[in-house]
A = this chain, B = another copy of it.
Amino acid sequence: MNSDAGKKSKDFVQSVDRGLSIIKVFNEKNPELTLSEVAELTGFTRATARRFLLTLEELNYVGSTGRHFYLKPRVLELGYAYLSSFNLVSIAQTHLEELTNKLHESCSVSVLQGHNVIYICRAASKRIMTINLGVGAQLPAYATSMGRVLLASLSDVEIEDYFKTVKLEKLTPKTITDEKILRAALAEIKKNGFAITIEELEYGVQSVSIPIHGKNGLVIAAANVSAHAGRTSKEDLVSKFLPLLREHVKEIELILQLQK
């Protein structure tokens, strides 16, 4: 959780914050932006936005067509720095691929990032692979089975902080948004070691998740299998998907144990 945001230490280098904010202002809706638009979206003055855009352009992270600015592929080097530094990603990838091939459904690994789960690894079944659910995509933790597994692993302080700051919204009529019910669900997950969500995030989507433990026994990520609600029953999730998911995650955890 990021409740400390706002309090800046004396060592804080504001320009780093600003440079990174400018990168993140570009997205699917705003692939190309004018200087004025960047200033407006970031809240920076035009002069500030201009200096940072030109800096990022000199560094080859941003390109321009004269009037419009856009991100260049060098930006990928940054995300790749994270992916290649987290050995879970490379270890999990092979196992997710295997699991996807066995179940013909998509499998993912994610970690908690503020109020969201962020995908760090994914193997998509043939049918549906959209960029929206690619590595780096984020979804609200409370409405996803991976998010619930990760929330259930938080300390008391962290979970209080989460509920104090999160906005629980109905994403479908089935989304649990009652804090009391959600807390009970998290307790249940802690006891059972897995989470299931049925159409709480989106119609037709259900999934089962379990935690991945690091060397020290702490939960470092969650892994899931998601399946279309029409093709798979809740019973299948528990009796068919969960055991295979457990088997593969156990192997991932074993490899993590063996790492120096």
Contact = CB atoms under 8 A, between A and B. Distances in A.
B129 A31 contact: no
A135 B131 CA distance: 12
Interface residues on A, range: 35 or more
Contact of A13 (B51, B74, B129, B130): B51
A22 B24 CA distance: 18
Contacts of A4: 58
Contacts of A71: 81-82, 85-86
A73 interface: yes
A162 interface: no
Interface stretch (A87-95, A164-172, A194-202, A241-249): A87-95
Interface string A128-149: 0111101111100000000000
Contacts of A186: none
A55 interface: yes
B11 A54 contact: yes
The 6 closest A-B pairs by CB, nearest first: A79-B79, A80-B136, A16-B19, A15-B15, A75-B82, A90-B131
Given A8-B58, A16-B16, A123-B129, 12 more contacts: A17-B55, A23-B81, A25-B81, A71-B81, A71-B86, A75-B81, A75-B82, A76-B113, A77-B79, A77-B138, A80-B137, A90-B131
Interface of A: 2, 4-5, 8-9, 11-13, 15-20, 23-28, 30-32, 50-52, 54-56, 58-61, 70-87, 89-90, 93-94, 97, 101, 111, 113-114, 118, 120, 123-124, 126, 129-132, 134-138
18 contacts: A2-B60, A5-B58, A16-B56, A17-B59, A19-B19, A24-B81, A30-B85, A31-B85, A70-B85, A71-B85, A73-B120, A76-B120, A79-B80, A80-B135, A89-B131, A90-B130, A97-B129, A101-B126
